Amino acid sequence: MTQSAVKVLIVDDEPHARERLERLVGELPHCKVVGLCGTGTEALNVMSELEPSVVLLDIRMPGMSGIEAARHLSMLPAPPAVVFTTAYDEYAMEAFDAQAVGYLLKPIRKERLEQALRQAAKLTAAQLKIVAATEREAARRQHIAVRVRDALKLIPVKDIQFFRADQKYVSVHHAAGDDLIDESLTDLAEEFSPEFSRIHRSILVSVEYLEAIERDRSGRHFARLRGREELLPVGRRQVGDLKRLFSAR
């Protein structure tokens, strides 16, 4: 441990749970609580300001789950170490053990907490993806995180109209603009199926925003999205799928 105090951020939706953790961490030498958050989103928002080195993350929280929050955190340029806290979550615990991810069982013992903080490690995106897959409730994220300088911007998945793969990056097109993310279109298609559908080799659209299929004089197909001027090309192989999607409505 370094000389300066370890900065700890506590994230839990239950006030009593936060209160107790704050007290326990406060009693440990070389540790300092820099903030308390009630939701994952709140935690992501304060990261750049508080710069904690360890985040204690409750798994089961309303809105964004702890595991989703951790996935977003891992995309920060200098991600904090993450220790999950949980009362009981059979499946997640198995995954944590398998991936050597640190976690604490509530009610938390002071010695365990001290040990976990000492061993707290930065988690990789790959580790977290495996853990997320075992999360019973929803392996899929409810937000896509976009790195903006040192902070993260969260885009609600329900606001996303489509993803488009360019040479190197994938761009997210949503109600409030366009952003670049560092994820593969194949992974995204897998995670968000069937709400998102591949209409072209390089385009994944939100089925909810699909408005119509159009055809130009030369026989090529285009998709029109609600709230969008531009037409998106539809791949020849995907035309059939797309038409079926419309007729199923």
Partner 1 sequence: MSKSGAIRSSYDRETRAGDGPDRRRLATSMNTPAEPSWRRIAFDRAPQDDFFLPNFCAPRMVLAIVLILELLALTFALARRGGTDFLTELAGISLFMQWLGLTAAAVLCYSRRWLATLSVPIAVLMAFALLTANVAVLSEATFQLGRNLRESGINGSLFPDSHWAFLFRNAGISAIVTAMLLRYFFVAHQWSLHVHAEARSRLHALQARIRPHFFFNSMNTIASLTRSNPSCAEEAVADLADLFRATMRDSEEPSRMQEELELCRTYLRIEKLRLGERLTVRWQIGEVLASAIVPRLTIQPLLENAIHHGIEPLDGGGTVIVAGVLSADDIVITVTNPVTDMTGRYIRPGNRLALENIRERLSLAYGERGRVDVTEEEGHYAVTLRFPYEE
DSSP summary character for residue 138: -
Contact call for residue 105 and partner 1 (CB under 8 A): yes
Contact call for residue 63 and partner 1 (CB under 8 A): yes
Question: Residue 247 and residue 86: Cα distance in Å, rounded?
Answer: 45
Q: Which of 4, 29, 136, 216 binds partner 1 (CB under 8 A)?
A: 136
Question: Residue 153 and residue 75: Cα distance in Å, rounded?
Answer: 11
Contact call for residue 87 and partner 1 (CB under 8 A): yes
Distance in Å, CB of 222 to partner 1, minimum: 30
Contact call for residue 88 and partner 1 (CB under 8 A): yes
> Long-range contacts made by residues 143-149, C-beta under 8 angstroms, separation at least 24?
143/41, 143/64, 143/68, 143/72, 144/172, 144/181, 145/44, 145/71, 145/72, 145/75, 145/181, 146/172, 146/179, 146/180, 146/181, 147/75, 147/76, 147/77, 147/182
Residues 6+ apart with CB under 8 A from 69: 11, 40, 41, 43, 44, 57, 61
Using the minimum distance from each CB to partner 1, give the nearer residue, 65 or 161: 65
What track of x and - describes contact with partner 1 for positions 22 through 61 (by CB under 8 A)?
-x---------------x--------------------x-
Distance in Å, CB of 87 to partner 1, minimum: 4
Using the minimum distance from each CB to partner 1, give the nearer residue, 41 or 53: 41
Question: Residue 34 and residue 36: Cα distance in Å, rounded?
Answer: 7
Q: Which of 54, 55, 73, 108 binds partner 1 (CB under 8 A)?
A: 108
Question: Residue 224 and residue 217: Cα distance in Å, rounded?
Answer: 16
Count of residues binding partner 1 (CB under 8 A)?
Answer: 23
Contact call for residue 107 and partner 1 (CB under 8 A): yes
Using the minimum distance from each CB to partner 1, give the nearer residue, 58 or 179: 58
Contact call for residue 138 and partner 1 (CB under 8 A): yes
Chain contacts with partner 1 (rule: CB under 8 A) = 14-17, 19-20, 23, 39, 60, 62-63, 87-89, 105-108, 136-138, 142, 158
